[in-house]
């Protein structure tokens, strides 16, 4: 059985592409570097990360991008003997403007070197490229109306101002007229256009209702590329809005692919909320699911009817997962990413089997932050690390963190208090605008010389840090902490977000500008049933 989600942990906005017997899914990475994750499968059940294509400064530099900006909603396609990747680098989240710059890169192989970007436009986000049968190409994106959300213009405009379509040429760029081809259904917040052609119709898939619990996959069609487009008889192909008890929530934003045998498949983003805590917080963020569909009267429907995609569906057997264990670092683990910068050599290096983090800016930085981490994929997990670190001031610290963004994190750190090396806890409780740091440990733990083990046990909405010296039994470090804030719904105030997901990983900072180094010689992550 195929089990949803097929891509666990923060993997939103899945663009779906088939080349022969090979399937590819590209997902958003927001402020995490390198940009875009591309997974590959041949059976739709087992997926392997094969590329993060935006991996150098000429393609992507997100230093200064606020949380939840960066890479939004890529579109992956294959035509003319190469792969095409369309993406947005969003430079602003809060406020009237988004400053969403759209680019295209190409590569002859999915795991090869991708080209430098070609700039297209900045009129809105969620860009998409459609290759028509005659070889002409068309660029789409939702149009962002900055007059629609601010108080200064006293406007009643909808910020989500329809889907724009314009012909695009690899040599000339955008050419010909630009037309708003689709305003969406009454669900509103119409975005994420993807076009495909079948049986004489142009089909336009969009996402509607916002990316939280009203989300939906919507579908419209036309015999003319330029419209008008008629809505699906049910308006939507998938949504979980009216079934809050379903284990897959926030269903929407995906893309259609027809398999070689003619079966119809559609990806979607989804969230798995923690149950039993009174709120629906999704620590894994927005993940990727897949559903089988059927055609009736030239309209697409879920195979089993209704709007709810299944948690399990017939297909290949997923391979059993294994724990992630690193006792020796020869390179940065493929599961790890860092934040914003295309110059990782200033943040970390591999040295004699260790991952060395170079202390830079604080945990709230938008520019140069020494934090490398992997996605939380499970409600319950254990993670651990071993580090060597010799700070000289409280302005230097390193350790293990559970992290969402600059407003939401917990960290077990080695630092200095009153001239003594200690272990302490640092938390940020999601308060806006600047986030309020707290130190949940009443009294720091004085540490002996030498390496220290930090570990964390996360159990749904709670987590507990531990510390130990090598060979000794771990001891709890401070109280149990609220893990539910390390989630999409954990934010408060104007910067409440729902775009990325929880990570767990390694951090070091040094605000004295001495670049104090922390040496990590072990990292493990293990799901707990």
Helix (H) or strand (E) holding 297, with range, is none
Buried b / exposed e across 478-494, counting CB within 10 Å, b at 16+?
A: beebbbbbbbbbbbeee
Both structure tokens of 246:
């379903």
**Residue of 287, 368, 434, 472 marked catalytic:** 368
Q: Helices then strands (H, E): number in the chain?
A: 0, 41
Please state, in angstroms and as integers, the Cα–Cα distance from residue 489 to each residue in 131, 283, 502, following that order: 37, 8, 11
Q: Is 434 annotated in the active site?
A: no
* 8-state DSSP, 449: S
Phi, psi of 490 (to 5 degrees): -80, -5
**DSSP string across 11-78:** --S-EEEEETTEEEEEE--BTEESB-EEEEESSSS--EEEE--B-STTT---TTPPTT-EEEEEEEEE
Distance, in Å, from the CA atom of 305 to the CA atom of 408, rounded to the nearest integer, reads 39
Phi, psi of 483 (to 5 degrees): -80, -15
- CB burial class (10 A; 0-12, 13-18, 19+) of residue 238? buried
Phi, psi of 472 (to 5 degrees): -100, 160
Distance, in Å, from the CA atom of 191 to the CA atom of 210, rounded to the nearest integer, reads 9
Catalytic positions, written as ranges: 368
């Amino acid at each position: 059985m195929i089990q949803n989600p097929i891509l666990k942990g923060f993997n939103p906005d899945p663009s779906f592409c088939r080349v022969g017997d090979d399937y590819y899914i590209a997902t958003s990475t927001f402020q995490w570097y390198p940009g875009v994750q591309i997974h590959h499968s041949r059976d739709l059940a087992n997926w392997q990360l094969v590329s993060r294509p935006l991996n150098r400064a000429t393609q992507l530099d997100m230093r200064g991008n606020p949380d939840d900006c960066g890479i939004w909603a890529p579109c992956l396609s294959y035509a003319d003997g190469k792969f095409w990747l369309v993406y947005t680098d969003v430079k602003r989240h809060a406020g009237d403007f988004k400053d969403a710059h759209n680019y295209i890169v190409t590569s002859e192989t999915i795991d090869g070197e991708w080209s430098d970007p070609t700039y297209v436009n900045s009129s809105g986000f969620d860009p998409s490229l459609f290759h028509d049968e005659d070889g002409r190409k068309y660029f789409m994106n939702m149009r962002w109306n900055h007059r629609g959300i601010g108080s200064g213009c006293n406007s009643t405009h909808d910020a989500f101002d329809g889907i724009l379509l314009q012909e695009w040429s690899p040599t000339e760029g955008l050419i010909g007229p630009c037309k708003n081809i689709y305003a969406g259904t009454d669900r509103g917040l119409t975005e994420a256009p993807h076009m495909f052609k079948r049986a004489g119709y142009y089909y336009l898939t969009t996402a509607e209702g916002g990316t939280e619990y009203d989300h939906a996959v919507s579908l419209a069609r036309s015999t003319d590329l330029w419209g008008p487009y008629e809505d699906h008889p049910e308006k939507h192909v998938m949504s979980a809005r009216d079934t809050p008890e379903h284990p897959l929530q926030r269903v929407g934003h995906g893309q259609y692919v027809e398999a070689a045998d003619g079966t119809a498949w559609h990806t979607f983003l989804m969230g798995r909320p923690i149950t039993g805590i009174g709120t629906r917080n999704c620590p894994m963020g927005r993940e990727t699911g897949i559903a089988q569909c059927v055609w009736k009267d030239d309209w697409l429907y879920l195979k089993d009817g209704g709007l709810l995609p299944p948690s399990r569906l017939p297909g290949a057997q997923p391979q059993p997962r294994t724990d992630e264990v690193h006792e020796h670092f020869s390179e940065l683990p493929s599961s790890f990413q860092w934040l914003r910068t295309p110059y990782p050599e200033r943040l970390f290096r591999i040295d004699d089997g260790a991952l060395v983090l170079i202390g830079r800016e604080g945990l709230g930085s938008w520019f140069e932050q020494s934090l490398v981490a992997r996605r939380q994929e499970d409600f319950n997990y254990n993670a651990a690390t071993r580090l060597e670190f010799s700070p000289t001031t409280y302005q230097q610290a390193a350790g293990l963190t559970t992290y969402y963004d600059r407003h939401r994190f917990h960290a077990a750190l080695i630092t200095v208090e009153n001239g003594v090396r200690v272990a302490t806890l640092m938390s940020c409780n999601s308060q806006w605008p600047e986030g309020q740091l707290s130190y949940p440990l009443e009294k720091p733990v004085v540490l002996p010389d030498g390496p220290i083990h930090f570990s964390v046990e996360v159990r749904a909405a709670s987590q507990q840090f531990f510390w130990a010296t090598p060979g000794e039994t771990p001891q709890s470090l401070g109280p149990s902490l609220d893990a539910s804030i390390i989630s999409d719904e954990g934010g408060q105030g104007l910067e409440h977000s729902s775009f990325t997901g929880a990570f767990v990983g390694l951090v070091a900072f040094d605000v004295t500008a001495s670049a104090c180094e922390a040496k990590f010689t072990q990292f493990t992550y293990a799901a707990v049933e």
